Amino acid sequence: MKKYKTNKDSRVLISELMLPSHSNFSGKIHGGYILSLMDQIAFACASKHSETYCVTASVDKVDFLKPVEVGELVTLKASVNHVGTTSMVVGVRVEAENIQTGKIKHCNSSYFTMVAKDNAGKSVAVPGLILENKTAVRRFVRSIIRKEDAKVRRGRFKASEFEYESHLELLKEYNVKIEL
């Protein structure tokens, strides 16, 4: 195993034609199907970087920006944006192409935290990441910031420390009825 790798060493790209069997009741491609493809490419990318089996630890927010249509060619691109000791953040971008017009649209992006495992299921060290350009540095730093933000969010909403009374004013703006 190399001690350090570039994100080019583990980039993965897959394309798949969207079939009617992938669609939901409104005729668009089911979001769950797209998420499944995203998880598959994140796994492939992380496994390629770590040279071992990987599991999905978390998925950052996924916003479905544009629907994917039956008959479009969906391309998913994945690269390692950040590495820790045993984990990697894999950036995944989803684009759909109308194969008749050639028009490409960005449908969504997300970040998958993947953890490298050995055959016994124990977390193992991953190679470091060589940052070769400003984009790679930006992606690495943004991953650190997302990680810090998630830690703050988790700390804000610990059930044992949550006092709903202090949030009653906020709740007045929403369509809720409290019956405790």
Sequence spans of domains, the chain:
4-130
Q: Is the pLDDT of residue 4 over 90?
A: yes
Q: Does the pLDDT of residue 170 top 90, yes or no? A: no
Please report the pLDDT score of residue 40 as a whole number: 98
Residue 19's alpha-carbon distances to 23, 68, 106, 146, 171, in angstroms, are: 7, 11, 19, 35, 43
13 — pLDDT class (breaks 50, 70, 90): very high
Read out DSSP for 48-112? Answer: HHHTSEEEEEEE------SPPBTT-EEEEEEEEEEE-SSEEEEEEEEEEE-TTT--EEEEEEEEE
* CATH 3.10.129.10 correct for 4-130: yes
Cα–Cα dist 66/131, whole Å: 31
**Tens digits of per-residue pLDDT, 59-88?**
998 999 999 999 999 999 999 999 999 999
What single letter denotes the amino acid at residue 172?
K
Closest CA to 40 of 74, 63, 67: 74
Give me the pLDDT at residue 159, please.
64
Answer yes or no: are the C-beta atoms of 43 and 6 closer than 8 Å.
no
Dist CA 86 CA 36 (whole Å): 23
Q: What is the pLDDT of residue 160?
A: 63
